[in-house]
Amino acid sequence: MLPLEELGIVTSRSGILLLIDTGYLRLWSHDRVPEMPDGVLSDDGATATANTFVDLRIVGADAERVGQLLGMSWNPFYVYDQPPTNLELRNKLDSFVREQKLDARFEVVNPRISHRQRVDLAIKQGKGAGEIQFHGVWAAAVSGVPTATPLRVVGERGDEQNPDRWRRVIVECQPGKRYVQSHEVGLVGVDYARILIADVDVLGGWKHEESLDGMADFLFWGRDAERIAATLHAPRVGSREFGWVDLPTETATGKGIAVQEYRDKHSLKIAVDYRPHSHHWQVMRPIRESSPTESSTTEIDGEKVCNFMTTWGDGLFQVYRDIDGSGQLVQIRIEMETLPGASPS
């Protein structure tokens, strides 16, 4: 076994940690009615349609069995984020009921089930841990985490074929103690190449794209970046980027518009990134600046959260909880050698 490297520290006041793609926190509604934010989908019409979706509960004597047959959700009693009229899904349920003589039906849940409630429902269904879904994204929640004490997040590197990638990442809940059983929790679906480990209730105040201090950065890089930087007097930032940092948001937006207009006018090729000083910016900044483990520890709402790059890019990552003989949580383990299959979205 290779030496473990420290990625960061987490703390928890609720005793529940959520493991989630950091980029998808822009979709996290916490205890509010689930809502698709503007600018995520292809157009306003798609956003409006997504915001008509409903959550379904399967009820009846055979609800759990039918939910398992449907295979639409980790929690067999619920199907989240569905069009209000989904005849294909309803017909599928009806066929199971009819052919196998089962008792089950859909019931629309009103009001909708918040993302925070989905965590509690998953933990109840999984007897301490489970997978949740929100807008088609998978995240994992684990309860029984020690509170009011710092927990190390450590990583083990891969073999000689993957020495720069994580084989697994572990949250140490009882350091030095051996576990005797492992229980599969669920998947974390990643499309932004990063995972956040955080107390679930900290995320109630998460600001993904809203600047916390009224400041923002605008950066660009790529084939024609030097030409644009010379013309628009953009300073170099780091080894490969140009742009401006720590500007008022309106000023940064104006700089960004000028860069993109020049790019489009002259058919140039660059990548651009507008970065308001949000919580997402806070957890990514140390990684972007210099971190040998591509990770960070940041304090948000009085608790420490750990953000890290998967080193595998996007994929599906399996989460386990490892417990001792008395059923106490020893560690949370993410197996980082990505599972085969499609991207989560």
In tens digits, the chain (345 residues) has pLDDT values of: 678 999 999 999 999 999 999 999 999 999 999 999 999 999 999 999 999 999 999 999 999 999 999 999 999 999 999 999 999 999 999 999 999 999 999 999 999 999 999 999 999 999 999 999 999 999 999 999 999 899 999 999 998 888 999 999 999 999 999 999 999 999 999 999 999 999 999 999 999 999 999 999 999 999 999 999 999 999 999 889 999 999 999 999 999 999 999 999 999 999 999 999 999 999 999 999 888 999 999 999 999 999 999 999 999 999 999 999 999 999 999 999 866 654 444
Residue 239's pLDDT is what? 85
Residue 61 backbone phi and psi in degrees, to 5: -60, -30
Amino acid in position 114:
S
| pLDDT for the residue numbered 339 | 65
SS3 content of the chain, % helix, strand, coil (to 5): 25, 35, 40
- Which SS3 state, helix, strand or coil, does residue 190 take? strand
pTM of the model: 0.93
Q: Give the position of tokens 């933990």.
A: 123
Query: 53 with 81: CB under 8 angstroms?
Result: yes
Cα gap 332→175, rounded to integer Å: 11
> Helix, strand, or coil here: 133?
strand
Rounded CA-CA distance 227/212 in Å is 32
- Beta carbons within 8 Å of 98's beta carbon, 6+ residues apart: none
- For residue 248, which of 301, 211, 198, 285 has the smallest C-alpha distance? 211
For 63, 76, 124, 295, the CA distances from 96, given in Å and listed in that order, are 11, 14, 26, 47
Residue 312: per-residue pLDDT: 96
Give CA separation, 132 vs 81, 123, 143, 183, in Å: 12, 9, 13, 16
Residue type, 317: F
Using only C-alpha atoms, the chain has a radius of gyration, in whole angstroms, of 22
Quickly list DSSP for 291-327: -TTSEEEEEETTEEEEEEE-SS-SEEEEEEEEE-TTS
Rounded distance between C-alpha atoms, residue 113 and residue 56, angstroms: 9
Give the pLDDT confidence score for residue 160 in this predicted structure.
Answer: 85
